[in-house]
Structure formats: C-alpha cells, structure tokens
Amino acid sequence: MKKAALAADDDLVEYGYRRVVITITAVLCALLEIVDTTIVNVALTDMRGSLGATLTDVAWVITAYAIANVIVIPMTSWLSQQFGRRNYFVASIILFTVCSFLCGNASNIWELVAFRFVQGIGGGALLVTAQTIITESYPVAKRGMAQAIYGMGVIVGPTLGPPLGGYLVDHYSWPYIFYINIPLGIIATILAISFVRSPKYGEKLKSNQVDWWGIALLASFIGSLQFVLEHGQQDDWFNDNLITGLSVVTVFGLILFIWRELTYKHPIVNLSVLKDGNLRIGTVMCFILGFGLYGSTLIIPIYTQAVLGWTATDAGLLLIPGSITTALMMPIVGTLIQKGVPQGYMVAVGFLIFFFFTFMMYNNMTPDTGTEHLFWPLILRGIGLGLLFVPITTLSLSTLKGKHIGEGAAFTGMMRQLGGSFGIAIITTFITRFTQEHRVDLIANLDPSKYEVQQRILGMQRNFMSKGFSSNESLQKAYQALDYSVLKQSTVLSYMDIFLYLGILFLCCIPIILLIKKGKHKVDISEAMH
C-alpha cells in the first residue's frame, strides 16, 4: 500500500517546461487568493461612499471572504479526493474568476458581500491546493526549493494588494480591483486544464458517507457568530430578537459540530488531533495572530484615508516597507529553525515586537500624523510577523506524526483565518462604541459659556464670513466644523484604544509559550506554510 502511494506520488513529478508552467500556474493562483485578501482594504472608503454603506456593513466585504475561507480550507483535501485534484482546482479558479466579475458589478453592499462569500469558497481552495500541486511536481530532493518558490509567492501577495488596489481605485474605480482577476483567472484556468494532473490513489466516499451535517453545522456556527459580532453593537445586543436567536444557534451549532466530528466515521474536520497539547496552544496563538494581523491591516488604511485624507495609493504604499520586511525575515527565520534555534524564543520575541508596534501606533496617532511617524512602527510590525508566522505553526505541529501533521497544519490555517474574521468584526464593533464614548466625553468639555470655546467659534465664524457667507450661515458652519473636529478626534482616540488593547493581548500570549513541550522530531517547513 505504502509502495503504491509512493509510486503514485512520484508519478506526479514533472520535468522541463511542464514543471515551470505548473509552478507559474500554482504561484499565480496562490497570488490571486492572497492579493484579494488585502487589495480590498484600501478601497473600503470608496465602497462606503458609492454603495452608501456604514463601516460595519463594509467590513463584511472582508469578513465574508474570510468566513468562506475558514469553512472551505479544512474541507479542501477531502474535496480534492472526491472530485479529483485537477477538476477541483480548475472549478475553484473558474468560481473565483466568475465571482470577481460579479463583485465588480454589484449594485449594493449586500450583493457585493454575497459574491465575496462565494468568491472566498473558490479562493480558499486555491491556496492549499496550489501548495500541494507545486510540492508534488518536484522530486523529494528538490521540494525545499519548491516550497521556497511558493513561500515567496505567498509573501509577495499581501505586499502587492494594497498599492495595486490603491492605484486602481485612484485612477479608475473600486470595481477594477475585482476585474483585474478576470484575465489572470482565464490564463490560470487554461494552464491548469492543460498541465495539472491528479493523483490516482485515494478512495472516494459515497454520497451517503459524506459529512453533510458537519458541513452544515460548521457553516451555521461560524456564520451566526460572525453576524452577532458584526451587528450586536448597532442592534443593541440581546435586546434584539435576531441577535438573541443567532447567539443560541452559535452555541448549539458549536456543541453539535464538536459532537458530530468526534463521533462520525468520516468527519469533515478531524478534531481528534486536538488531543495534542502543543496543537491546542498553537491554535490559540494562530487565532490571536490572525486577530492582530487582519485587525491592524483593516485599521491603518481606514485611518490614513478617512482621518488623514490620504489617497488610496498613498495608503497602499505605506504598507509596502513592512511587507518587504516580513518577506526578508522569512528566509532568516527558516535558517534559524534549521540551525535548531528554539522556535519558542522567536515566537516570544515576535509577540514582544508586535506589542512595541501597537504601543508606537498608540503614541503616534493624531489627526495630523505624517508618514515619518508611521514608517518605523510598520517596519517593527513586519519583523514581528516574520518571527511569528512559521515558528507558531512549526511549534504547533512539533509533537504530531504522519498524516496528523497535514491535519494539524490545516487546523492552524483555519484558526488564523477565523481569528482574522472575528478580529475584524470585533474591532469594527469596538471602534463604533469607543468613538461614541469619546465623542460624549469631548462634547462634555465643550462648554459654550467658556471663553476659550466662544473665541474658537467666533474665529471660525469670521473665517467663513470672509469667504462671503452671511453671519448666521457662518455661525452654523462654525458649529458644523467644530462638530466634525470632535468626531475626528474621537475616531482617532478609538483607534488608539484598539491598538493599546491589541498590544496587551499580544503581551499576554508570551507566558502561554512556556506551556509548549519540546518536539522530538523536526517538522517539514513545507507543512507549516498552510
């Protein structure tokens, strides 16, 4: 059986131009998926304006995609087995490309969110399947190189997203961030049909053996929880019947999902791997990493555009140096792991550096902050993420063996995405709440009877009168300008609070590392790249 599997594995090895084409196809598909995760961030402000959406509503454009990713990633290996890897890969590319076109043509926010969700189902499959395809196209001796090529593609993606999105938004319009996927998707589809092959081994499950209940319970649990987190604040939490109902669905959905996966013969997600202590700790850290990564990536473009008045291109370009720093850190971290430097130390330093990044952002954020104040914190963020990404995953997998390594890797990938989607939901909720609280506090200090306040209003009124407005109009505009200034200041204060709490969360993770046991064997870094 083992020999047959190995023979089949070797059968997929390609040589010459075929290997080059397959490598390009796999990296292109991985790039499409990752670029689309970050390209949207710089377009959120424009989407809000053109679709008439709130910040809470527009955040769903990111979270819907992330939720779909979370649902489909643990199912990917099973779906590849059921339908054949090439068929599933090609179908995912086509679904992703068609939905990109539909996203660009969406006429309202909820249409866009629905198409983003379906796009995420196609995209989630691309990342994991592309990695498997590129790995199996190389002989065992060269798989390290294959993973390096794939890894660099994965790292370039988040770097390309914001500046590319910014350029397209500023020079064309936000739908073009989706339209750009269409020609690339068509090329990838043709190449995948022509060159990608499926493994011949693996038994298919009959339709009555498929864990349909597991799929339904996973989707209902994640979807309900996400809705509660997104809309709880604006709908007054448990005073709203829908929020209460979905909270019940969340709790029972989770309990029933766990029971189903532990008792069913062919579970869609193998929860038994969580018996491993390191993996349990690792999944918690992956969740927090996703929370901090996606949360900070959401806030920075919104802050620079909405508060500082930057263009989408400038907001995107700001993120490039930090992303390049992460890319440069990856080979360094890989070398350190191979030399036997304890990953626990790297993770601890990574969490500490990320705390310093949040602390610097907390101190440097004002309504008039310049590029020079944000550059070094974002470089620190890049170093921190570089020290966290691979070491956390390899630590999580360090005490697993055989096929459990792949299952554990899928689990850590899922938790990182889950942390991201929950992070975005919770952060947008807290931004709304903190902004309201700070606004109330600031207005309480604006006493019209105070001399300083009167002078400020009088100065603003005179300024408007000098521009040709009447006395009453100028007074009204002065009050509006003062109100806008208060709103701007309260928004900045809420962003500062978010960064402070994020930093404390990352600082609290450092003691958790002490609970990790040392693994007896080395983990293949290729498994850690999910």
Give the tens place of pLDDT for each residue, 200-212: 655 566 666 677 8
Q: Does one domain contain both 331 and 246?
A: no
Q: Does one domain contain both 282 and 386?
A: yes
Q: Does one domain contain both 318 and 189?
A: no
Give the per-residue pLDDT at 166: 78
Give the per-residue pLDDT at 352: 93
Distance CA 437, CA 496 (A): 13
Which tens digit of pLDDT belongs to each residue from 379-396?
Answer: 999 898 888 877 887 777
Mean pLDDT along residues 106-130 = 85
Give the per-residue pLDDT at 418: 79
- Tell me which of 4-13, 31-40, 340-349, 469-478 is least confident: 4-13
Percent of the chain with pLDDT over 70: 84
Q: Does one domain contain both 496 and 416?
A: yes
Distance CA 474, CA 468 (A): 9
pLDDT band, very low/low/confident/very high, at 228 (cuts 50, 70, 90) = confident
Contacts of 35 (CB under 8 A, 6+ apart): 157, 158, 160, 161, 164
Q: In the block, which residue shows the tokens 């902050």? A: 369
Q: Does one domain contain both 376 and 472?
A: no
Distance CA 210, CA 271 (A): 16
Q: Enter the tokens of residue 470.
A: 């009447």
Distance CA 7, CA 215 (A): 33
Q: Residue 217 pLDDT > 80, yes or no?
A: yes
Q: Enter the tokens of residue 306.
A: 């909405």
Which tens digit of pLDDT belongs to each residue from 464-507?
Answer: 777 777 777 777 777 777 777 888 888 889 999 999 999 998 98
- Tell me which of 67-76, 205-214, 256-265, 347-356 is least confident: 205-214
Give the per-residue pLDDT at 43: 79
Q: Residue 173 pLDDT > 90, yes or no?
A: no
Q: Does one domain contain both 115 and 53?
A: yes
Q: What does the mean pLDDT of the chain come to?
A: 78
Give the per-residue pLDDT at 98: 93
Which of 180, 202, 224 is the last residue in one of the domains?
202
Mean pLDDT along residues 335-343 = 77
Are 322 and 384 in contact by the 8 Å Cβ rule? The answer is: no
Q: Does one domain contain both 411 and 448?
A: no
Give the per-residue pLDDT at 7: 46
Give the per-residue pLDDT at 234: 67
pLDDT band, very low/low/confident/very high, at 148 (cuts 50, 70, 90) = low
pLDDT band, very low/low/confident/very high, at 525 (cuts 50, 70, 90) = very low
Q: How far is CA 421 from CA 67, 124, 157, 299, in A?
A: 6, 14, 19, 14
Are 382 and 326 in contact by the 8 Å Cβ rule? The answer is: yes
Q: Does one domain contain both 140 and 287?
A: no
Which tens digit of pLDDT belongs to each residue from 359-369?
Answer: 999 998 888 88
pLDDT band, very low/low/confident/very high, at 12 (cuts 50, 70, 90) = low
Distance CA 324, CA 524 (A): 24
pLDDT band, very low/low/confident/very high, at 149 (cuts 50, 70, 90) = low
Single-letter code of the amino acid located at 239 = N
Q: Does one domain contain both 130 and 226?
A: no
Domain of 459, in residue numbers: 437-486
Give the per-residue pLDDT at 526: 46
Give the per-residue pLDDT at 236: 66
- The DSSP annotation for 11-75 comes to HT---HHHHHHHHHHHHHHHHHHHHHHHTTGGGHHHHHHHHT--HHHHHHHHHHHHHHHHHHGGG
Q: Residue 27 pLDDT > 90, yes or no?
A: no
Distance CA 298, CA 109 (A): 18
Q: Which residue has the higher pLDDT, 239 or 209?
A: 239
Among 13-17, 151-155, 177-181, the range of highest mean pLDDT: 177-181
Mean pLDDT along residues 52-76 = 78
Which of 202, 227, 255 is the last residue in one of the domains?
202
Mean pLDDT along residues 132-155 = 66
Q: Residue 207 burial by CB count (10 A; 0-12/13-18/19+): exposed, middle or buried?
A: exposed
Q: Does one domain contain both 168 and 302?
A: no
- CATH number, domain containing residue 297: 1.20.1250.20
> For residue 355, how far is the Cα from the chain centroid?
19
Q: Does one domain contain both 73 and 155?
A: yes
N-term to C-term CA, the chain: 27
Single-letter code of the amino acid located at 179 = Y
Mean pLDDT along residues 96-113 = 88
Q: Residue 317 pLDDT > 70, yes or no?
A: yes
Mean pLDDT along residues 328-353 = 82
Single-letter code of the amino acid located at 255 = I
Number of domains, the chain: 4
Q: Does one domain contain both 338 and 381?
A: yes
Q: Residue 246 pLDDT > 80, yes or no?
A: yes
Give the per-residue pLDDT at 358: 92
Distance CA 116, CA 392 (A): 29
Q: Which residue has the higher pLDDT, 485 or 406?
A: 485
Up-side HSE of residue 97: CA atoms within 13 Å toward CB?
Answer: 17
